[in-house]
Amino acid sequence: MRRRKAIATAAAGTAAALALTGALTGCGTADAAITGLSADTTIEMITGAQSSSFYLSMECGAAVEARKLGINLTVVGPQQDTAAQQLPLVQGVIVGNPDALIISPAADASQSLITAGPSSDSGRSLTQALYVVQENDTKVIFAGSSVADNNVGASRITSDNADGGRIAADNLGRMLGGKGAVAVVTAPEAGLPATARIAAFRAEMTARYPGVTVLAAQSAAADSPASADAAVAADLKAHKNLAAVLALTEATAQGAITALGNARRTGTVKLATFDAGPFQMTGLTTGTIQLTVAQEPAVEGADAVDQAVNAVADKKVTPYVSTPMVAITPQNMSDGTIKPYIYDGTCTSSLRGFMTAGG
């Protein structure tokens, strides 16, 4: 059973750079009475990046739900999670004019109203293109992330990022016995979700574990392991009581692992991060990571399909749907209750073949 918390407050691409992730076509297994839609209703989905285990898991969740409802779902994704690479895909949606679009905008699109520079220009262009999609009567649903402009989109399905920060603080503070200093390493590409997680982490740690000092967050110019390695190495030298590192991205976690290994502090200085792809799960197994806080991308994908169907059928749409997060440690990673949170995109290959050939 999917777990979610609904918040009822309203509030053609270049083939070299952008490739089709897969076509997932519902084969009419659901009666039209279930959705109130005709059999030729189409939903397109643009994920953040093709190879991301997070987005592959989201695709799986969306595909299963679309299959259940008998809805035609086509999924595409850029090679890199940037607004510039998503833009041609959105322009293709304008031409194709499907009934609904589910999209996970890149971080530079989510911040485009509050930042300046070339990356925010791409974000604004993507937002403008989504306006055109919406004006063409294609329903726009955001999954996993959204643009900063609240005038775009019928529904936004995201993880509760503030709760994720609190979960990280609660578990890491307990691991540290309420003592020591924690380094925080992030990157611009982490976007607004990371900002919310860090703020909640700091507030929760202060409230529950006043003996733990959360150092000022360090943000490298780019999301790279080398930058994080240098930042963590500097914190290790400057703070003899450093007891943990909170790394907001996979690249910063990779850099932290290198820095801790070079200092022979692996395991003695705890490493906490986010997400539950192969990298994080391997780290938990080998002991280089002690805590990760995971989202439920498959649930977000399924919820996005549900909200898209409601929007197209002129049924009630929930403007904001918040999905939970959970702490995963070496001690609980094999528990049955944790399994739904581990990102698994392997179902896409079988679903694609089954859904396009079935019927």
Long-range pairs, 234-237, Cβ under 8 A, ≥24: 235/183, 236/260, 236/263, 236/265, 236/269
pTM of the full predicted structure? Answer: 0.83
Please indicate, yes or no, whether residues 166 and 179 belong to a single structural domain of this protein: yes
Q: How do strand 18-25 and strand 72-78 relate by DSSP bridges? A: antiparallel
Cα separation, 12 vs 18, whole angstroms? 9
Please indicate, yes or no, whether residues 124 and 148 belong to a single structural domain of this protein: yes
| Pair 109, 132: CB distance under 8 Å | no
* 257 φψ region: left (φ > 0), alpha (ψ -120 to 50), beta (else): alpha
Retrieve residue 107's tokens.
Answer: 């971080």
DSSP secondary structure letter of residue 217: P
Please indicate, yes or no, whether residues 59 and 122 belong to a single structural domain of this protein: yes
For residue 203, pLDDT over 80 is answered with: yes
For residue 250, pLDDT over 50 is answered with: yes
Estimate the crossing angle of helix 83-96 against helix 118-135, to 10 degrees: 20
Predicted confidence at residue 34, as pLDDT, reads: 58
Please indicate, yes or no, whether residues 196 and 286 belong to a single structural domain of this protein: yes
| Band (16; pLDDT cuts 50, 70, 90) | very low
| Band (224; pLDDT cuts 50, 70, 90) | confident
Say how far residue 24 (Cα) sits from the centre of its chain. 21
| Band (139; pLDDT cuts 50, 70, 90) | very high
| Listed residues 279, 294, 309: the one ending a domain | 294
Q: Of 35, 14, 9, which Cα lies nearest the Cα of 312?
A: 35
Over residues 113-123, the pLDDT tens digits come to 434 444 456 66
| Pair 141, 308: CB distance under 8 Å | yes
Q: Which residue has the higher pLDDT, 69 or 222?
A: 69
Predicted confidence at residue 91, as pLDDT, reads: 95
Over residues 71-106, the pLDDT tens digits come to 899 999 999 888 899 999 999 999 999 999 999 998
Predicted confidence at residue 274, as pLDDT, reads: 97
Predicted confidence at residue 178, as pLDDT, reads: 97
| 281 within domain boundaries | yes
Cα separation, 257 vs 292, whole angstroms? 14
Please indicate, yes or no, whether residues 274 and 303 belong to a single structural domain of this protein: no
Please indicate, yes or no, whether residues 145 and 10 belong to a single structural domain of this protein: yes
| Pair 7, 320: CB distance under 8 Å | yes
Q: Of 291, 319, 346, 280, which Cα lies nearest the Cα of 146?
A: 319
| % the chain with pLDDT above 70 | 83
CATH code for position 246: 3.40.50.2300
Segment 318-342 mean pLDDT:
95
For residue 303, pLDDT over 90 is answered with: yes
Please indicate, yes or no, whether residues 113 and 141 belong to a single structural domain of this protein: yes
Please indicate, yes or no, whether residues 175 and 59 belong to a single structural domain of this protein: no
Q: Which helix (H) or strand (E) holds 119?
A: helix 118-135
| 226 within domain boundaries | yes
Over residues 142-193, the pLDDT tens digits come to 999 998 889 999 999 999 999 999 999 999 999 999 999 999 999 887 778 8
Domain around 210? 161-294
Q: CA angle 65-70-76, nearest 5°?
A: 60
Quote the number of domains for the chain: 2
